[in-house]
Each structure stands twice: as C-alpha cells, then as structure tokens.
Amino acid sequence: MMSYAKISQVAHYVPEQVITNDDLAKIMDTSDEWIASRTGIRRRHISRTETTSDLAAKVAEQLLEKAQITADELDFIIVATMTPDSMMPSTAARVQAAIKARNAFAFDVTAACSGFVFALSTGEKFIASGRYKRGLIIGSETVSKTLDWSDRSTAVLFGDGAGGVLLEASHQQHFLAESQGTDGSRGACLTSGQTSLQSPFSEKEITEPYLQMDGRAVFDFATRDVSKSIKETIAASGLVPEEIDWFLLHQANVRILDKMARKIGVAREKMPANMMEYGNTSAASIPILLSECVEKGDIFLDGSQKILLSGFGGGLTWGTLIVII
C-alpha cells in the first residue's frame, strides 16, 4: 500500500573547536577581509577527534530523543557523505551500530553537496512504497580531513558538521515536487579522494587525494544551471516563488546565494545563510541550516509551511525538493 513521507524532527551537531579566519591567517597567506568578502565565511568548526560517523551518531541520538522513540523502531538509516570513516563499513552502518538500531538497514549516499537532497528523496521513496515507516536521513562530513591545508584557495572554504531529519509515514502528501540531475562530463571541476590502482598487476597512476576545485566553473554552474533547474522545479510544482516560505540552499558561498536569489526571482530574506559560522559543510549544510531555522522559530515543523531544499556540487550534481514541513 502506498504511503506518504513527512519530516517530523530535525537536529544538528558540530564539533566544538572553532577556527576563525584570523586563525587561518596564522598558518597561510590569507586574511579575514579576503575570505569574508569573497565567501561570507568567518568561522568554521573543525573536528579534533570526532569522525564523520561520530558526528552523525550524535545527530541520530538527538532525533530519537526529540521523537521519543527507540532505535529499534527505525527501518533505515541513510547517511549522505563524501568523507566517510571508511569505504567499508559505510558511515551509516557505523551509526546503526553506535545507536543500536537493530532493525534498520543502513547505507551511504555519495553525491557531494547534493548528497542530503538525494538521500532524502531516496528515503521518501522507501516510505512511499508502504514497506517502511521510519528512517533517519543524515548529512555528515569531516571535510577538513580531505583538504590540502597548504592550498589557501580551498582550505578556507570548508568546515565539519552534521545535520539530519527523522522521516516518518503520514496520511498526507508533504513532498510536492523534486528534480535531480548529474553531469558527469563536468566532474573534473570538483574532485576529492581519488584512489589509484596499486596491485602488482596494474600500471601506476598519478592521483590527487586532496579536494581540488575550479572555483569559477563551480560558481557559474551554481548560479546559471542550478538557478534554472530550481525555477523549472517550482514551475512544474504549479507553485510560484511567492508561495514558498523558505529557500534552503547549499551553503557554499554568500555571493552564490545573492546571485541565485536574483536569478530565481525571490527575496534574499527568504534564503537564510549560515556559512559565516560553519563554512561549507557539503552534504551537512542543508540539514544544519534547516535545524537552525527550526531552533530560531522561523520554521515551525507543524505542516504549515512550504520549503524548497536545493543542493549542488561535485559530480557535478544538483537536486531540489519542495516539501511541506
């Protein structure tokens, strides 16, 4: 029997250690003025000891606590991450073990900064199938471990953190529209964690383990292609931008948001930003922002608001969901 899915709880967790732009200026040739004016970022949280699964497990525990349910009641856990603790077991399997969610199947989604939207869309389909009632969707990253800390053009942009939602079955439709896309032919403008063949039977390859980015190409992709996709998704939903209460976009760079707001035709005030505090936390950025908006009282979680979530990044990938929340 078909069912509907709804987001019933939200939570986030970030490592305690805060690194300011001035802290970075002590170890590389940069300045608070350069970073803040080009990106909006002023601080980021960087993990000392906690792994991606540690951050995600903290979010999972909060979600269970808020919903007053036990881990046994979960049917699935999906973690979106591009910085897993290991390729195997998955980060989600580690979270499943940490919270003792004995009845849940668990796996990771890798779609860089679009990962949370892709994972949420996947979880919605599980619940819509009628076979599953409850699952956690978590975006969690320790991007700091993938950065070349001698490269000022990328090291200043990112931070660590996690956020997530509890997805539950509902009698009413909450997911109104979605669109997702990938253009693998442009994958080279944003890469990280390349691995190489190393067997005695293989030819040696030269690979780049650290995060690499063509900043200008990514800026153009986000402002041109993703803005167009968001406009098309809104039009396909039968809504007009004015009917959408909040636009929660991936937090890469404040100038990207400014330009996207103009291109989509929405008031910038409807597009909250928190990259000044966290930097770009990749798959975690949207759920951290959502959780903060709920904490601030801007989003009520009472089924009265329409919000648009949009992630975009490595792949290249992009994904937009419009949900009642």
Backbone torsions φ then ψ of 134, nearest 5 degrees: -150, 140
With CB under 6 A as the rule, give the number of residues binding ligand ACO. Answer: 25
Taking CB under 6 A as the binding criterion, the range among 177-185, 211-219, 227-235, 236-244 that sits at the site for ligand ACO is: 211-219
Could you tell me the CA-to-CA distances from 87 to 31, 162, 175, 180 in Å, in that order?
36, 18, 31, 24
In the numeric block, which tokens belong to residue 37?
């004016």
- Binding to ligand ACO (CB under 6 A) within 91-130 occurs at 113
Q: Does 26 bind ligand ACO (CB under 6 A)?
A: no
Catalytic residues: 113, 250, 280
User: In 10 A of CB 263, how many CB atoms?
Assistant: 16
Q: Does 288 bind ligand ACO (CB under 6 A)?
A: no
Within 13 Å and on the Cβ side, how many CA atoms surround 109?
26
Nearer to ligand ACO, 225 or 245 (CB): 225
User: In 10 A of CB 322, how many CB atoms?
Assistant: 24
In the numeric block, which tokens belong to residue 138?
């978590």
The residue at minimum Cβ distance from ligand ACO is 215
Residue 59 neighbours by CB under 8 Å, 6+ apart: 11, 12, 13, 136, 138, 140, 162, 163, 164, 287
The binder of ligand ACO chosen from 292, 312, 319, 322 (CB under 6 A): 312
The binder of ligand ACO chosen from 219, 241, 258, 276 (CB under 6 A): 219
Q: What DSSP element (H or E) covers 289?
A: helix 285-296
| In the complex, least distance from residue 260 CB atom to ligand ACO, rounded to whole angstroms | 11
**What binding mask, one character per residue, do residues 136-175 give for ligand ACO by CB under 6 A, x or -?**
----------------xx--xx------------------
CA 301 to chain centre: 19
DSSP state of 226: I
User: In 10 A of CB 178, how many CB atoms?
Assistant: 18
Taking CB under 6 A as the binding criterion, the range among 34-42, 55-63, 140-148, 240-248 that sits at the site for ligand ACO is: 34-42
Q: Does 190 bind ligand ACO (CB under 6 A)?
A: yes
**What binding mask, one character per residue, do residues 35-64 give for ligand ACO by CB under 6 A, x or -?**
x--xx-------------------------
Binding site for ligand ACO (CB under 6 A): 30, 34-35, 38-39, 113, 152-153, 156-157, 190, 213, 215-216, 218-219, 222, 250, 252-253, 255-256, 280, 312-313
